[in-house]
Amino acid sequence: MNLMEILERAAQPAQPNTQETTMPVNLADRSRTHGNYKDTAALSQSIKDVLRSGRNWSSLTDSQRESLESISVKLARILNGNANFRDHWDDIVGYGQLAADSVTPTMPQISADIAQTLNETN
């Protein structure tokens, strides 16, 4: 299940659990896509340390910080696991979009301004 499917499921009202679900995680499969857990965890924490050292870290919203930290985990999985596992990349896009959606625009859309300027000069 990718991030978008998880978010869609989370947005739905909770249903009572009528049956016991037992789905063991196959750690060998997970290791192939996500890398060795300890190595991935160490790299993820290192990336997060770098992010937290940024001068603007404390001024970010909870949503922005959470998105950056979640992206850090995905980057570590890409670098230690299977870089061609599409869910990693899709999840990075999803977390970035969640952060972007939480931002209140404070200036006009630059891309629209650039497009208008280019159209006027042609």
Look at residue 16 and tell me whether its pLDDT is greater than 90: no
- 74: how many CB neighbours lie within 10 A of its CB? 22
Residue 116 lies in a domain: no
| Total count of residues recorded for the chain | 122
Residue 8 lies in a domain: no
C-alpha torsion sign, points 62, 64, 68, 71: positive
The count of structural domains within the chain is: 1
Domain with 65, as residue range(s), is 28-102
Residue for token digits 């870089």? 83
Residue 93 lies in a domain: yes
User: For residue range 46-99, what is the model confidence (pLDDT) as tens digits?
Assistant: 999 999 999 999 999 999 999 999 999 999 999 999 999 999 999 999 999 999
The pTM of the whole model exceeds 0.75: no
Of 90, 68, 88, 70, residue with least CA distance to 79: 88
